[in-house]
Amino acid sequence: MDYLVLGSNGFAQVGDPDYFAKNKIELRILLNFFKQNYPIPEPFINMAYYSIKAFPHDFGTYHEIVLIYDDCLLSGWEASELELESELFDQFWEWFNSAEAADLESDELTDKIKEAYFKTIDFTKGEHLKLDRA
């Protein structure tokens, strides 16, 4: 198994005191976005799935949406002389490239993430005064 990075929105920034709370919401919304707008096509249901992966950084660990896939199967399709398997290889990359090109920083997605995050803040306790405004 291998992975391909699809990315994140950037709402949660490593080093922000609320990074993990923001990131959890951001990634949940982005996972739903991919599942709804770029569902795994039927031929790839048993060889690929969306997930979250942690990556190290000088300022701490950050997380992004990735596609986990069976690289051995995909490599076999690439090397195959069977037309069906060659077509599956091309279809996989066509589908992935369309998902990868999604604008994860669109106003619509950013607003949805912000709205979900701000619903978690207790304004009666002044929590909003301690946070950097997003």
Query: What region, left, alpha or beta, does residue 113 occupy, with left being phi > 0 and alpha being psi -120 to 50 degrees?
Result: alpha
pLDDT tens-digit readout, 3-21: 999 999 999 998 888 899 9
* Distance between CA atoms of residues 129 and 123, nearest Å: 8
User: pTM for this one?
Assistant: 0.85
pLDDT tens-digit readout, 39-49: 999 999 999 99
